[in-house]
């Protein structure tokens, strides 16, 4: 949605990634009167409004497309659609976010994975590891990250919990990282990247978690697997969520 606002002698052009069509259709104005215009559009189509002079290049872009792993509703892909309408000094909120992963074990959660509603009943068996950093707007490309984790002292692995930290503007930060969780922040629960099979690693070994963000013309999805070496043999899990078979996000 595109909104512009007159404040005294200044005219600010701001893009809100919010669903405001109900307000528009109901004719709601609140205290905005004639100072705010709502234009219903996919943000990836805003170039057309710019070319027709219906809007101008934005001063600020505000997005609420954040999820448990720092991404929700195709945040990078959607915000990539406004790259060509930015000014040199356009402010983007949030400005960046980074993802964190930690291995977890929970037999109960593993047994009930198909009916999973939360992953509170699990034990973190290692400190958080940085997954990757995304800076918005960012190009829609496959992104590959791998996180190396020492398995000692946990022998059993059923998946990985996901968290994020986001820089909204300058030093204003929101975090779901368990060790520095923002106070009274309850909007996001941890994400989960489960493994189809429990992996048993009785001896100390180095586990590598590989995750890739993939896309085609219709959808975006994550694929992941783990690998580690035991007694000179490379052990590798099967590829999880191949071609988005279990979970994906539609581009339409």
Q: Which residues contact 96 (CB under 8 A, 6 or more apart)?
A: 133, 134, 135, 136, 166, 167
CA gap 239, 223 in Å, rounded: 7
The b/e string for 141-154 (b: 16+ C-beta within 10 A; e otherwise) is eebebebebebeeb
CA gap 238, 246 in Å, rounded: 14
Catalytic residue annotation: 64, 73
CA gap 170, 165 in Å, rounded: 13
Instruction: Output DSSP code: residue 174.
Output: E
Instruction: Output DSSP code: residue 240.
Output: B
């Amino acid at each position: 949605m595109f909104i512009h606002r007159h404040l005294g002698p200044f005219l600010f052009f701001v893009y809100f990634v919010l669903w405001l069509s109900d307000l528009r259709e109901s004719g709601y104005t609140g205290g905005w009167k004639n100072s705010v215009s709502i234009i219903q559009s996919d943000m990836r189509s805003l170039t057309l409004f710019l070319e027709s002079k219906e809007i101008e290049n934005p001063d600020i872009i505000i997005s609420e497309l954040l999820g448990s792993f720092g991404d929700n509703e195709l945040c990078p892909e959607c915000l990539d659609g406004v790259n060509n309408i930015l000014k040199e000094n356009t402010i983007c909120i949030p400005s960046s976010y980074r993802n964190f992963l930690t291995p977890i074990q929970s037999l109960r959660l593993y047994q009930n994975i198909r009916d999973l509603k939360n992953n509170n009943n699990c034990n973190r068996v290692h400190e958080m590891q940085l997954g990757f950093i995304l800076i918005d707007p960012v190009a829609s490309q496959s992104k590959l990250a791998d996180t190396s984790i020492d398995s000692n002292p946990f022998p059993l692995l059923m998946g990985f919990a996901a968290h994020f930290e986001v820089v909204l503007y300058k030093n204003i930060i929101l975090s779901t990282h368990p060790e520095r969780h923002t106070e009274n922040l309850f909007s996001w629960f941890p994400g989960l990247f489960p493994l189809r099979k429990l992996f048993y690693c009785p001896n100390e070994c180095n586990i590598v978690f590989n995750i890739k963000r993939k896309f085609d013309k219709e959808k975006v999805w994550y694929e992941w697997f783990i690998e580690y070496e035991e007694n000179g043999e490379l052990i590798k899990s099967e590829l999880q969520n191949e071609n988005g078979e279990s979970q994906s996000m539609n581009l339409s």
